[in-house]
Amino acid sequence: MATQDAAANTAPRSAPDSATPSYTRPLVIVTTLFFMWGFLTCLNDILVPHLKSIFDLSYARAMLIQFAFFSAYFLFSVPWSKVVNAIGYQRTMVAGLLTMALGALLFLPASSAASYPLFLSALIVLAAGITGLQVAANPYVTLLGEPETASSRLVLTQAFNALGTTVAPKIGGLLILSSAPLALDQLRQLAPQALQGYRVQEAASVRIPYTVIAVALLLLAVLIAFSKLPTIANAAGDRGERVNDSVWKHANLRLGALGIFAYVGAEVSIGSFLVNYFGLPEVAGLSALAAAGFVSFYWGGAMVGRFLGAGVLRRIKAGHVLGLCAVCAASLVTTSMLTGGRTAMWTILAVGFFNSIMFPTIFSLGVAELGPLTGSGSGILNMAIVGGAILPVIQGAIADQFGLHHAFILPVVCYLYILYYGLRGSRPNSERYPKS
């Protein structure tokens, strides 16, 4: 996820005369972080149907998984930005990885107790660590190279984030959804002691995956800690420097925060419901395990789109590309709502391709022309990721009331706002208030 060319223009590099190729090795190292947090974020799409069946949850209550996870962005983005200012980008990445490892390990007592609140608590800690990575790694990537290529470099790096989201549903489905859960009527007939025993048995499927994840995160923390990464100054301006400007004077930032809120909410809402959606008789009637395999196509489309988008954004105005992708995404979701069978399934999966460039593009447009305020603007945009916490719960409530098929109207509304932002709302102050 992103920051911006403006940050690169204002932040001094430790080696300004170095050629861009000298940043290849640190970029490769940092890219592993993008893969890891993409993988972990997308595992939630497997946890949602798994915990829903174990604890007999409504759609709205099951979406508390995403609410707990994405609320961390709202709660911890500003604190992590202060950590970056205090200890720098590299050490913040290490701290984020250690926090993530702790969150992954908390899945062990949560599964042993078969406690839904403990699972939510573990997710909050895990997401708090991911927030630290986001706050540190996004601006770091944009500063590792020429300012003119910052946006396309970030989109390319995020392609590996999408690689993580692509493989996660397949691997998570095989490890977590391998056994068929009891039907609801069978579940409700169990005695309390037998019900708890069943929940413990089913919840145990998360232990091995999250233990392996915790070990991988610790090893990655060691790798980052001992890597010789370039030291880059914070882009927030010199200490003590007074900036005669305010982030709130930049409409492209204010509207961009709403754009991030809408985009992340739409993307997460769709991804969270795919397994249950494909299980509907009028759509595909798939088992949870089979449906989880198809979720990879949704995130795989985002990966392909980002690889292609890195080149397209060098040639076509970013706002126009964003608007076109929003129109296509809204049209595909609408088609899925109005149809059934394989048409409904594949049209909703195709939305992933058009989601691909939305986050980095909105982010870049949002912090355009902020100069020394780029750091503060980046924090505001990161907080807006809380859309992934709020909108899935709303969609879950709609699904409980009107049916899952009709609940996808919410992402359509989100994409229509993104269309407006790409074509009108993203204009920076130099275009809104041109000097005569």
Using one digit for the tens of pLDDT, what is the confidence trace for 266-280? 999 999 899 999 999
pLDDT confidence of 108, banded at 50, 70, 90?
very high
198 versus 333: the higher-pLDDT residue is: 333
pTM across the whole model:
0.76
Query: Tens of pLDDT along 389-411?
Result: 899 999 999 999 999 989 999 99
Query: Tens of pLDDT along 283-297?
Result: 999 988 888 889 889
pLDDT, residue 362, reads 92
Q: Which residue's entry shows tokens 């392909």?
A: 304
pLDDT, residue 358, reads 93
Judge whether 132 and 36 are in contact, CB under 8 Å: no
User: In the 3-class helix/strand/coil scheme, how is 10-75 assigned residue by residue?
Assistant: HCCECCCCCCHHHHHHHHHHHHHHHHHHHHHHHHHHHHHHHHHHHHCCCHHHHCHHHHHHHHHHHH
Judge whether 183 and 377 are in contact, CB under 8 Å: no
pLDDT confidence of 140, banded at 50, 70, 90?
confident
pLDDT, residue 15, reads 43
Number of C-alpha atoms within 13 angstroms, CB side, residue 44? 31
pLDDT confidence of 240, banded at 50, 70, 90?
very low
Number of C-alpha atoms within 13 angstroms, CB side, residue 404? 20
Query: Tens of pLDDT along 361-391?
Result: 898 888 788 777 776 777 788 889 999 989 9
